[in-house]
């Protein structure tokens, strides 16, 4: 470990605020990674679960019973299966024909029982999606618990912030178990957080309001929709996935026209699951960001939030992008960082509503005193490609626009279709192929001060440098590719 890194760690360990902020940053990073892990699992496992629900897979379960069918009867049985598969006869009609056409032959009863078991077999894909939703909600709950825990450690006096919290915490026997006051504080925090997590979303909202003047409902894409996701998880876990009276009542309080009745099956379709992950990701990351801003305006997680927004924008998660950008634009950060959020917000709105959705706001945006990057952004957003192509080459030459941005940033989606884009991109092909370079090379993001190994999915832009360069040795390692 180099001297600078040692000094940095020593400063953090001796500074309660620095330690608190560092732990919040770690919660943010871990949460983002866990939600991404769930997305990866969804993408990887869904095709397999779908295959298990295919009719041919269900029929494969009948193999033992089918083997008992006499050779002379096989053509007739195959014809029955063909007619049912082609919907020429119903399942009930097939059973009736097996009863009537092969009466007293014995093997037909085994086949009928196997068919019935096959029909009653629970589909696998809804089970997978329900499990992933419960895991995602549990991951959000971990964020709530971790943030509350770190807050209490940073501000232990908050343990007495209201009357009921000032009641006696320990019995005499419990007090004898503690060697130090810190042990007693740790135990108290553990009990308090455990009690908080046994409460409802309303209790969590009340806690953050009381303790930090942060309203959890202001940190979601849509508060009623977010509540419904947590309610659905409760129904899946505790009511077999069927709408309970409480679920129906609370959903209809938010939306009186909601078409749901007690006993309805609440499976998670693919679109719903992805939408739920967006809601949970936004709520968790903005909770951490809001608490960070509350105590350290100089370390507002803006770079991490910008990277997350960029990734979601590229993947078309537009509602999440808009909510993150709205929060980012209100943060106490540099103007350039705020304007990056503004541009990405406009890109998300444009993707949903077309140029009409942003025309008024972006046309009136005064960029005359801003850098050429934002002049280029305005021109590209409004489809003024001639103007954009005059601004782009110098920015690329100066390294203000990198290869990754040219290839990935949705800002350039229209420009990539223009033949003028190719000669600008071609000289940057080597930089874009950095993932294939030897390990002696790394990518140093000069904005965040983080070093990435070649091919790291978080290395969105930066300078290619030798691993033994002084700047690289002094920089922080990426939490993903260096772990």
Query: Out of 103-107, 408-412, 456-460, which region has the weakest mean confidence (pLDDT)?
Result: 456-460
State mean pLDDT over 341-360.
96
- The 10s digit of each residue's pLDDT in 28-43 is 999 999 999 999 998 8
Residue-range domain boundaries for the chain: 12-50+125-295, 55-122, 302-364, 366-432, 433-483
3-class secondary structure, 33: helix
Percent of the chain surpassing pLDDT 90: 46
Cα(283)–Cα(28) distance, integer angstroms: 11
Cα(205)–Cα(227) distance, integer angstroms: 11
The predicted structure's pLDDT at residue 91:
80
| Predicted TM-score of the model (pTM) | 0.76
The predicted structure's pLDDT at residue 52:
62
Which residue did the predictor score with more confidence, 447 or 147?
Answer: 147
The gap between the terminal CA atoms of the chain, to the nearest Å, is 15
- The 10s digit of each residue's pLDDT in 390-423 is 999 999 988 889 888 888 899 999 999 999 998 8
Cα(376)–Cα(391) distance, integer angstroms: 6
Mean pLDDT for the chain overall: 84
The predicted structure's pLDDT at residue 234:
93
Report the number of secondary-structure helices (H) and strands (E) in the chain.
24, 4
The predicted structure's pLDDT at residue 431:
55
Which residue did the predictor score with more confidence, 456 or 265?
Answer: 265
What are the structure tokens assigned to 381, written together?
A: 């957003």
pLDDT of 380 > 90? The answer is yes
State mean pLDDT over 111-133.
80
Cα(148)–Cα(215) distance, integer angstroms: 14
Residue 245 near residue 262 (C-beta atoms within 8 A): yes
The predicted structure's pLDDT at residue 437:
42
What are the structure tokens assigned to 461, written together?
A: 């832009």
Query: Out of 158-167, 239-248, 402-411, 461-470, which region has the weakest mean confidence (pLDDT)?
Result: 158-167
Residues with Cβ within 8 Å of 342's Cβ and at least 6 positions away in sequence, in order, are 325, 329, 365
Cα(78)–Cα(392) distance, integer angstroms: 66
State mean pLDDT over 55-80.
75
Q: Count Cβ atoms below 10 Å from residue 8 Cβ, excluding itself.
A: 16
Half-sphere exposure of 263 (CA within 13 A, CB side): 0
pLDDT-derived band at 469, boundaries 50, 70, 90: confident
What are the structure tokens assigned to 266, written together?
A: 């609440």
The predicted structure's pLDDT at residue 366:
96
pLDDT of 427 > 70? The answer is yes
**CA distance readout (Å), 10 to 5, 6, 16, 327, 483:** 9, 6, 11, 32, 21
Sign of CA dihedral 17, 22, 28, 31: negative
State mean pLDDT over 372-387.
96
Most confident of 71-75, 141-145, 465-469, 471-475: 141-145
Cα(120)–Cα(322) distance, integer angstroms: 44
pLDDT-derived band at 434, boundaries 50, 70, 90: very low
pLDDT of 57 > 80? The answer is no
pLDDT of 6 > 50? The answer is no
State mean pLDDT over 101-116.
82
Query: Out of 88-102, 119-133, 154-168, 394-408, which region has the weakest mean confidence (pLDDT)?
Result: 154-168
- Return the residue matching tokens 């874009």: 432
pLDDT-derived band at 458, boundaries 50, 70, 90: low
State mean pLDDT over 368-389.
96
- The 10s digit of each residue's pLDDT in 189-223 is 888 899 899 999 999 999 999 999 999 999 999 99
What strands, in cross-sheet order, belong to the sheet with 441-445? Answer: 463-466, 441-445, 450-452, 476-477
Residue 223 near residue 217 (C-beta atoms within 8 A): yes
């Amino acid at each position: 470990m180099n001297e600078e890194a040692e000094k940095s760690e020593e400063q953090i360990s001796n500074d309660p605020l620095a330690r608190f902020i560092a732990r919040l940053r770690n919660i943010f990073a871990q949460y983002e990674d866990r939600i991404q892990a769930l997305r990866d699992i969804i993408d990887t496992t869904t095709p397999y679960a779908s295959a298990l629900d295919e009719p041919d897979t269900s029929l494969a379960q009948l193999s033992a019973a089918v083997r008992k069918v006499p050779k002379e009867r096989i053509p007739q049985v195959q014809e029955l299966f063909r007619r049912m598969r082609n919907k020429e006869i119903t399942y009930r009609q097939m059973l009736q024909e097996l009863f009537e056409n092969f009466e007293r032959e014995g093997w037909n009863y085994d086949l009928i029982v196997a068919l019935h078991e096959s029909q009653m077999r629970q589909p696998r894909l809804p089970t997978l999606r329900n499990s992933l939703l419960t895991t995602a909600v549990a991951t959000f709950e971990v964020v709530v618990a971790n943030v509350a825990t770190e807050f209490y450690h940073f501000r232990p006096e908050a343990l007495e912030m209201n009357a009921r919290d000032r009641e006696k915490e320990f019995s005499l026997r419990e007090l004898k178990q503690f060697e130090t006051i810190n042990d007693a504080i740790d135990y108290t925090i553990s009990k308090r957080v455990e009690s908080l997590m046994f409460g409802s979303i309303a209790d969590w909202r009340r806690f953050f309001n009381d303790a930090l003047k942060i309203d959890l409902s202001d940190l979601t894409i849509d508060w009623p929709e977010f509540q419904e996701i947590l309610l659905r998880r409760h129904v899946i876990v505790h009511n077999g996935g069927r709408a309970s009276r409480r679920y129906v009542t609370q959903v209809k309080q938010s939306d009186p026209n909601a078409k749901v009745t007690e006993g309805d099956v609440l499976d998670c379709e693919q679109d719903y699951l992805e939408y739920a992950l967006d809601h949970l990701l936004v709520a968790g990351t903005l909770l951490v960001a809001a608490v960070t801003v509350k105590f350290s305006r100089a370390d507002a997680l803006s770079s991490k939030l910008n990277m997350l927004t960029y990734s979601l924008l590229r993947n078309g998660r537009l509602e999440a992008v808009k909510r993150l950008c709205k929060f980012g634009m209100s943060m106490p950060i540099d103007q350039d960082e705020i304007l990056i959020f503004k541009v990405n917000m406009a890109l998300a709105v444009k993707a949903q509503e077309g140029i009409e959705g942003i025309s008024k706001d972006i046309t009136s945006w005064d960029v005359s005193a801003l850098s050429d990057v934002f002049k280029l952004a305005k021109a590209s957003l409004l489809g003024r490609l001639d103007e954009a192509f005059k601004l782009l080459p110098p920015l690329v030459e100066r390294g203000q626009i990198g290869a990754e941005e040219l290839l990935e940033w949705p800002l350039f989606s229209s420009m990539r279709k223009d033949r003028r884009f190719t000669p600008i991109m071609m000289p940057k092909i080597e930089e874009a192929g950095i993932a294939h370079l030897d390990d002696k090379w790394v990518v140093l993001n000069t904005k965040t001060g983080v070093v990435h190994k070649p091919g790291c999915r978080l290395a969105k832009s930066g300078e290619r440098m030798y691993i033994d360069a002084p700047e690289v040795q002094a920089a922080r390692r990426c939490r993903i590719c260096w772990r």
